[in-house]
Amino acid sequence: MIVVACPGQGSQTPGFLTPWLADDASRALVERYSQVTGVDLVKHGTESDAETIRDTALAQPLIVAASLLALRALREAAPDAVIGGIAGHSVGEAAAAAGAGILSDDDALRFVRSRALLMAQAAAAASTGMSAVLGGDPDAVIQHITGFGLEPANFNGGGQIVVAGALDALSRLSEEPLRGTRVVPLQVAGAFHTHYMEPARDGLAAEATGFTVNDPTLPIWTNSDGSPVESGERFLDLMVRQVAAPVRWDLCMASFEAAGITGLIELTPGGALTGLAKRGLKGVPAVAIKTPDDVPAAVELLAATAESNA
């Protein structure tokens, strides 16, 4: 069973869309996505620097649009391939919702645009950020960071917990890490998935009532607790709640394993989730689609699974 994984905020890098836009059809699609989101995705995916695309209001629609573009390329390259399931990390859940047919591509992008603006507004209300804590016992890490007034935001598995809160508290944590751990500041603009985002969650709940929602056509797992979700309405509700609640990617990977995962394909801008899979899903082959040149490797992984199931 191949699981498609959709990356979250922080995975974007300057110019990462450039190789994709050499194809006229891909450029036209991104231009349409730009109209839907009101963001010049072509410009920000090819010309803008790291600081510019760090802006939540730009980063989130840019990442989801790129994932939808890569998923389209994968499905066109392997139209008969069977995808066993799909999941997204944080904002990547919107791309996963579109991939599973819960939302249309356009509605997924509209959802993300609203999410991004509301989260950016919430982030602007206080000087906050996020850092990854690498290594250490998870319970000990949580106890340690609580002493700084910080909150766990992402349980990523593979020995990585992302914590969030006030910038001065994150700075103190870097100076006084738990023994045996390493603290790495992340290039994000707020304390996402914490109580700081409650105003964004409430605003998004009102926005979400305007979307047409279908039940998923693929198995899909929620960041809330890693469980599979069979109701499209419930998945949308969980996406709204998740704005101010921790991402449990560790539990998602545990669910992939329980379901019999045989390979993972990460969509553009890929890399972070395949890295986590190497530690959290040891022995499971993973392919990150960073550019169109990576699509054949993903198709090969799909084909290998089909042959083993034949």
Q: Distance between CA 45 and CA 49 in Å, rounded?
A: 9
CA atoms within 13 A of residue 78's CA, in its CB half-sphere:
18
Residue 209 to residues 97, 233, 240, 305, Cα–Cα distance (Å): 16, 10, 11, 39
Contacts of 296 (CB under 8 A, 6+ apart): 77
Which residues pair with residue 228 across a beta bridge? 221
Instruction: Give catalytic residue positions.
Output: 90, 193
Whether 217 contacts 103, CB under 8 Å: no
Could you tell me if residue 101 is left (phi over 0), alpha (psi between -120 and 50 degrees) or otherwise beta?
left
Nearest Cα neighbor of 76 from 120, 27, 113, 26 is 26
